[in-house]
Amino acid sequence: ILTSSCRNFSIIAHIDHGKSTLADRSLTGTIDKKGKGNQQFLDKLKVERDRGITDENLTPHSMIHTYNGQRYLLNLIDTPGHVDFSWEVSRSLAACQGALLLVDATQGVQAQSLSVFHVAKDRGLEIVPILNKIDLPAAQPNLIAAQMHSTFDITPDPDPILRISAKTGLGVEAVLKAIIERVPPPQILSEGKGERGGEGRFKGFLFDSSYDRYRGVISLVSVQSGVLRKGDKIQSHHTRKRYDVIDLGIMSPEEVSTESLREGQVGYVTCNMKESSEAHIGDTLHRVGELVDPMPGFKPSKAMVYAGVFPVDSNDFPKLEESIKRLTLTDRSVTISRESSTALGQGCRLGFLGTLHMDVFRQRLEDEYDASIIVTAPTVPYKVVYKDKKEKFVSNPTDFPDVLDSSGKVKEVQEPIVTASIIVPEEYLGEMMDLCFTHRATAMDHRYLDSSGRILLTAVLPLSEIVTDFFDKLKSRSSGFASFDYEDAGYQASNLVKMSFLLNSKPVDALALIVHRSAEQEVGRLWVKKLHKVIPRQLFEVPIQAAVGNKIVARETLSAVRADVTAGLYGGHYERKLKHLNNQKESKKKMKRIGNVDLPQEAFFDILSTK
């Protein structure tokens, strides 16, 4: 098959809008009769369902389709359904020339499809808009088509939107036709043409990888030029590491081993690569000794949300760390470092691509580790800019510069900001604007998506404002109707301060927070109240204070308790008395002593845990 007859495309869809059904139907012509659809439905992680994304990987499918007497090779390349994985999204889209934009005719456009659509559009991909599920009585194809015209900036005349039912097969033939006619073939680079008998130098673009216990890393590669064969010696442009190609082939949709992978093709490659961290998404592979220009714009994914993870029982740290390491074998985008805290003991600090990524990992970790963990409130990477123009990223409040900054070297502090998109029925617009406003939104804007009153609200917000409970509030204040997504919008200078908490005038390291100046009173009061509730009374009075620099912004006082707690118990209750004493001994062991104050470990769990 000639390169001009190859089509590489992906499907952009919100969860349950029919991506898997269309993939099965169009590329194999059949629907799995074993009720696989149902099983998939059950298998998905709850967080993913709640958040409306799909993290399940569609393996790339390849199929031959005959159209107008000519044979075409169609390659479906999967993209993560969420821009938390924006790096992966943009890399897998880089291996495609077109994208099917699939929207459920009963549900309409959702925020997640919108953000992935923007990435595809920016990359210059040919977009094939499709309305799915038109067989359902509840389908509103005309209304949803109007939504698509306005949201995706599609000219309605002639209307390019295909109307199909992936389930019944209605209109699926037209989808294949549109892929062939509208999506351009891959552009072949002519690097080193004429060498090796005219086939040119091999250049492969690594756009995805998976891990198999027996075979090691399985890389998905789109061949930009030349041919790759079994036994070839290849090299990573990024790491300079060398490998022997053990097996390669196409996905149809199961792996089918082939002799070679040629330019324009997309397939899998296994070699002696042992760790997923060696497979850098966006990397360029070439034959040893044959230099090629790497694919442009390679950058490793960057963690945007950090949280500390600690075992509830500190003896379990090795077990927790092992579980984390095992999970990162299959999720290379999580960064790990060790962290220790006076309050919580030994733990790990993990970095995630976004809040959804964090929630998904957390749920996997809880399943894998099978014991309780404490996840501390998430923080974002702040940028400290010094007067000598040096910059430093700080994600742990302990490392944040003090407001007093006696050195005078700090010019400003910047925080990551995002552009949020919220799609919601108009009656909730006020609630949503209010929610964004209380989360320090600037530059809010909204417009109607269609005549039924659905609205797209966009707002620029600090990332730190959406990493905790923003999503839950959004859902509850819109009765579950709002869909939400966000995109990275760079860094912005901000008036941020470090808040410390003092017990009996001594600071507690694990409790430090970074807050916006405008919220210092409110946050300080809230936390001081929380502490007051969970800290047991001591033999003496304990002031609990929130401080910014040397200014106290909030205070509560824990009154003293009488020395002998058994004093009230008399003779007849000897047993009870004994039990009480034992309890006291028992809890003594788990006490942390800060500023002369005895704190039970549980107090920290209550305060620091995000659950």
Closest distance to Mg ion from the beta carbon of 16 (Å)? 8
Please say whether the beta carbons of 410 and 384 come within 8 A: yes
Which residues neighbour 360 within 8 Å (Cβ) at sequence distance 6 or greater?
45, 47, 48, 55
CB of 501 to ligand GDP, least distance (A): 45
The pair of structure tokens assigned to 284 is 């360029």
Of 114-133, binders to ligand GDP (CB under 6 A) are 132-133
Q: What is the DSSP letter of 563?
A: S
Q: Which two tokens stand for residue 144?
A: 């949803």
Q: In terms of CB distance, is 142 or 190 closer to ligand GDP?
A: 142
Site stretch for ligand GDP (CB under 6 A), options 12-20, 406-414, 473-481, 557-565: 12-20
- Say how many Å lie between the first and final Cα of the chain, rounded: 55
Q: Which is nearer to ligand GDP, 135 or 368 (CB)?
A: 135
Which of 93/546 has CB closer to ligand GDP? Answer: 93
Nearer to ligand GDP, 14 or 357 (CB): 14
Q: Which is nearer to ligand GDP, 2 or 136 (CB)?
A: 136
Which stretch in 163-171, 201-209, 453-461, 476-484 sits in contact with ligand GDP by CB under 6 A?
A: 163-171
DSSP three-state, residue 606: helix
User: From the list 15, 422, 455, 531, which residue makes contact with ligand GDP (rule: CB under 6 A)?
Assistant: 15
Q: Mark residues 225-264: x for contact with Mg ion by CB under 5 A, - for none.
A: ----------------------------------------
Q: Which two tokens stand for residue 549?
A: 């620099």
Task: Give the C-alpha separation, 488 to 509, whole Å.
Answer: 30
Contact pattern from residue 455 through residue 494 relative to ligand GDP, giving x for each residue in contact according to CB under 6 A and a dash for the rest: ----------------------------------------
**Site string (23-62) toward ligand GDP, x via CB under 6 A:** --------------x--x-------------x--------
CA 432 to chain centre: 23
Q: Which is nearer to Mg ion, 19 or 203 (CB)?
A: 19
List the single partner that 51 binds among ligand GDP, Mg ion, none, CB under 5 to 8 Å by kind: none
Nearer to ligand GDP, 20 or 209 (CB): 20
**Which residues from 212-271 bind ligand GDP, rule CB under 6 A?**
none
DSSP string, 150-201: HHTT---SS---EE--TTT-TTHHHHHHHHHHHSPPPPPP-TTBTBGGGT--
Q: Cα separation of 515 and 602, whole Å?
A: 25
Burial 556-571 (b: 16+ CB within 10 A, else e): bebeeeeeeeeeeeee
Question: Backbone phi, then psi, for 420, in 5-degree steps?
Answer: -95, 140
Tokens at 385, concatenated? 């800019």
Cα distance between residue 601 and residue 582, in whole Å: 18
Which residues are within 8 A (CB) of 215 and not within 5 positions of it... i.e. 6 or more apart? 246, 247, 270
Minimum gap (Å) between residue 377 Cβ and ligand GDP:
31
Taking the least distance from each CB to ligand GDP, the nearer of 13 and 380 is: 13
The span of 62-70, 159-167, 343-351, 557-565 binding ligand GDP (CB under 6 A) equals: 159-167
Q: CA 51 to CA 358: how far, in whole Å?
A: 12
Stretch touching ligand GDP by CB under 6 A, among 18-26, 200-208, 304-312, 583-591: 18-26
Q: Helix, strand, or coil here: 496? A: strand
Of 147 and 270, which has the nearer Cβ to ligand GDP? 147
* Minimum CB–partner distance for residue 166 and ligand GDP (Å): 4
78 DSSP 8-state letter: -
CB 37 to ligand GDP: min, Å:
4
Backbone angles phi, psi at 18, to 5 degrees: 115, 20
Residue pair 224/295 in contact (Cβ under 8 Å)? The answer is yes
Asked if residue 20 binds ligand GDP (CB under 6 A), the reply is: yes
Which parts of 46-112 are beta strand (E)?
61-67, 70-76, 98-104
Residue 26 interacts with, from Mg ion, ligand GDP, none (CB under 5-8 Å by kind): none
Provide the minimum distance between the beta carbon of 505 and ligand GDP in the complex, in angstroms, as a whole number: 55
Q: What is the DSSP letter of 401?
A: P
Nearer to Mg ion, 49 or 473 (CB): 49
Binding site partner of 17, from Mg ion, ligand GDP, none, Cβ cut-off 5-8 A by kind: ligand GDP
**Smaller CB distance to Mg ion: residue 19 or 65?**
19
Q: Give the one residue of 8, 18, 100, 463 binding ligand GDP; rule: CB under 6 A.
A: 18
The single residue listed with the structure tokens 């891990």 is: 211
Amino acid sitting at position 308: G
Q: In what helix (H) or strand (E) does residue 94 lie, and over which residues does it extend?
A: helix 86-94
136 binds, among ligand GDP, Mg ion, none (CB under 5 to 8 A by kind): ligand GDP
Q: Which is nearer to Mg ion, 168 or 566 (CB)?
A: 168
* Closest CB 39 distance from ligand GDP, rounded Å: 10
- The least CB distance from residue 15 to ligand GDP, in Å, is 5
Which residue number, 78 or 232, has a Cβ lying nearer to Mg ion?
A: 78
Per-residue mark of binding to ligand GDP, 164-203 (x: CB under 6 A): -xxx------------------------------------
Q: How far apart are CA 145 and CA 203, in angstroms?
A: 41
Cis peptide before 80 (omega within 30 of 0): no
Q: And the tokens for 8?
A: 């590489």
- Given ligand GDP, Mg ion, none, residue 500, with its beta carbon under 5 to 8 Å by kind, binds none
Determine contact, residues 162/174, Cβ cutoff 8 Å.
yes
Binding ligand GDP by CB under 6 A: which of 13, 281, 375, 449?
13
Of all residues in this chain, which one has the CB nearest to Mg ion in the complex? 20
* Of 88 and 321, CB closest to Mg ion: 88
CA within 13 Å, CB half, 157? 0
Site for Mg ion in 7-66 (CB under 5 A): 19-20
Q: Which residues pair with residue 483 across a beta bridge?
A: 423
Total binding residues toward Mg ion, as defined by CB under 5 A: 2
Phi/psi at 265 (nearest 5 deg)?
Answer: -85, 160
List residues binding Mg ion (CB under 5 A). Answer: 19-20
Give residues in contact with ligand GDP (CB under 6 A).
13, 15-21, 37, 40, 54, 132-133, 135-136, 165-167
